[in-house]
Amino acid sequence: MYELIIGWRYVYGGRMNRTMLTCAGASLVLAAFGLYLVLTSSEGSVPGVVAVLVGMVSAAVFGLLSFFSVFTSVSALGVILGVAALTIVLSVTTGFQQQFREKVLGVNAHVIIMKNSNDFEEYRHVMDVAKAVDPDVVAVQPFIFTEMLVTRGRGELSGVAIKGVDPDRVTQVLDLQNHMEKGSSIATLTDDLAPGQLPPVIMGRELAKKLKAHVGDDVTLVVAFSDGGMWRADSSVPKTRKFRVTGIFYSGFDEYDRRLMYVTIKQAQKLVGHGDRVMGVEMKIKDVSRADEIAEKLKHELGEPPYVIQDWYELNHNLFKALTFQKLALVIILTIIIAVATFNMVSALTMMVTDKTREIAIMKSMGATSGGVAKVFQVVGMTIGGVGTVLGLAIGLAVCWLVAGYGYHLDSKVYLIDRLPIAVRGMEVVLVAAVTMAICALATLVPSARASSLTPVEGLRYD
């Protein structure tokens, strides 16, 4: 028990610097003012965010200096900044992973069945097999995916990806309805047309901006390929067909919003000109985490080849693998930064051991064991690490909350999404705290071992 009391006395020292405490209070006032600016601004306030950040960091620095020595405060500050940075980076990288997953699953199915050749005519049988392969299969639909050109008026031309879907099943397989921004609903995508009525098309918001198209406008699709080959030089004008824009969706994923268009599968078959054939069959799974398992079942049932069966993660493997490696690299780098920050703690504890040599000798002469003396300095180190971890997590989580509320805008052409995503996971926060405390515990070993090895004779030799 005496180890805790002496260790805390070494850390605290029994004195409070009122000047530093006043500065800490003023910093908290600055942070509160910045928070007020953020909360009262409809679109967020950059000065408010800066004021909150500066206020919180300053309050931490002055608060440490008001209770601890300069060496102890510097040691704790290094831990604070390292923990805060690691917490923020983990939240951002996890947010990117979560956002990309939501965007991918928002307009894509969970499992896709395709064929090596262009003669996928037995898709109805494949749909029956896919529906019966597992109780978790919610719905299936055939689809066609092809590249075309779209034009509207003069000068508005763009390459697009056309996806033909079954209007009766699309809402069961895809979450496209949740992303509709303009137009009544995805139900406008239908083959039930009145005489002379143009077939419907739904397009992404960025594509609509590029074409200067609105709901109710007409666009023309131009088929650049025919029967699997380029149009011959002696051909007449390429095959074209007019469509009417009945809906505009916004997924938040720039690659889809800029290029993707939806038509009914019958209209897509007419455009491609291959008859009653499809490119593949896609499925929605009740539990998306079982997509790979169900894909393996389908491979066993259908055979691979001639079929190619992939789940959503496999289709986007490169993207999610890159995000995972990026997150791992950043975590390793920032953990090393925390480890480097603990060298300040080692220095501070070593100087404390040198300064307290006489007191250590007195404690040992009064019956304190070497293990007890070591525990005193371990308590000091763990207290510094604990304070640094708590304050670092508080600052990191506060920054995450501010950024999430402020909605920092990104260039969607570069990052594919338009806002900086933040996703705080409790397990990751606990992991940051545990790793930091483990590093701090290791940092106390050398100074505490040196303190425990001192003998009473060495400490009292010159007294």
Please indicate, yes or no, whether residues 138 and 282 belong to a single structural domain of this protein: yes
Looking at residue 454, what DSSP letter applies?
-
Backbone angles phi, psi at 405, to 5 degrees: -75, -35
Q: By the 8 A CB rule, do 10 and 356 touch?
A: yes
Please indicate, yes or no, whether residues 87 and 121 belong to a single structural domain of this protein: no
Please indicate, yes or no, whether residues 170 and 297 belong to a single structural domain of this protein: yes
Instruction: Give a yes or no: residue 313 inside a domain.
Output: no
Backbone angles phi, psi at 418, to 5 degrees: -100, -5
The 3-state DSSP class for residue 282 equals strand
The 3-state DSSP class for residue 189 equals coil
Instruction: Give a yes or no: residue 312 inside a domain.
Output: no
* Strand-strand pairing, 240-249 and 180-182: antiparallel
- Of 273, 304, 335, the residue at which a domain comes to its end is 304
Domain span at 211: 117-304
Residues in the chain, total: 463
Instruction: Give a yes or no: residue 311 inside a domain.
Output: no
Instruction: Give a yes or no: residue 92 inside a domain.
Output: yes
Looking at residue 239, what DSSP letter applies?
P
Please indicate, yes or no, whether residues 55 and 132 belong to a single structural domain of this protein: no
Taking phi first (over 0 means left), then psi (-120 to 50 degrees means alpha), and beta for anything else, what does residue 13 get?
A: left
Instruction: Give a yes or no: residue 168 inside a domain.
Output: yes
Q: Record the tokens describing residue 383, joined without a space.
A: 């207290």
Please indicate, yes or no, whether residues 336 and 429 belong to a single structural domain of this protein: yes
| 370-406 vs 317-355: helix crossing angle, rounded to 10 | 140
Instruction: Give a yes or no: residue 400 inside a domain.
Output: yes
pLDDT (tens place) for every residue of the chain, 463 residues total: 666 776 666 666 566 778 888 888 888 888 888 888 777 775 556 777 788 888 888 888 888 888 877 777 888 888 888 888 888 888 888 888 887 777 777 667 788 888 877 778 888 888 888 888 888 888 888 888 888 888 887 667 788 888 888 888 887 887 777 778 776 667 777 777 778 788 888 888 888 888 888 888 888 888 765 444 433 444 455 677 888 888 888 877 777 888 888 888 888 888 877 778 888 888 888 888 888 888 888 888 887 778 888 887 777 777 778 778 878 888 888 888 888 777 777 877 787 777 777 777 777 777 777 777 788 888 888 888 888 899 889 888 888 888 777 666 766 666 666 677 788 888 888 988 998 888 888 888 888 888 777 776 665 665 5
* Strand-strand pairing, 260-264 and 156-165: parallel
Please indicate, yes or no, whether residues 353 and 383 belong to a single structural domain of this protein: yes
Dist CA 222 CA 212 (whole Å): 18
Please indicate, yes or no, whether residues 257 and 382 belong to a single structural domain of this protein: no
Instruction: Give a yes or no: residue 109 inside a domain.
Output: no
- Of 277, 304, 331, the residue at which a domain comes to its end is 304
Dist CA 56 CA 390 (whole Å): 13
Please indicate, yes or no, whether residues 184 and 275 belong to a single structural domain of this protein: yes
Please indicate, yes or no, whether residues 276 and 167 belong to a single structural domain of this protein: yes
Number of structural domains, the chain?
Answer: 2
The 3-state DSSP class for residue 367 equals coil
Please indicate, yes or no, whether residues 326 and 442 belong to a single structural domain of this protein: yes
Please tell me the number of Cα atoms within 13 Å of 226 on its side-chain side.
11
The 3-state DSSP class for residue 246 equals strand
- Of 272, 304, 336, the residue at which a domain comes to its end is 304
Instruction: Give a yes or no: residue 378 inside a domain.
Output: yes
| 370-406 vs 426-443: helix crossing angle, rounded to 10 | 150
Please indicate, yes or no, whether residues 136 and 254 belong to a single structural domain of this protein: yes
Please indicate, yes or no, whether residues 124 and 249 belong to a single structural domain of this protein: yes
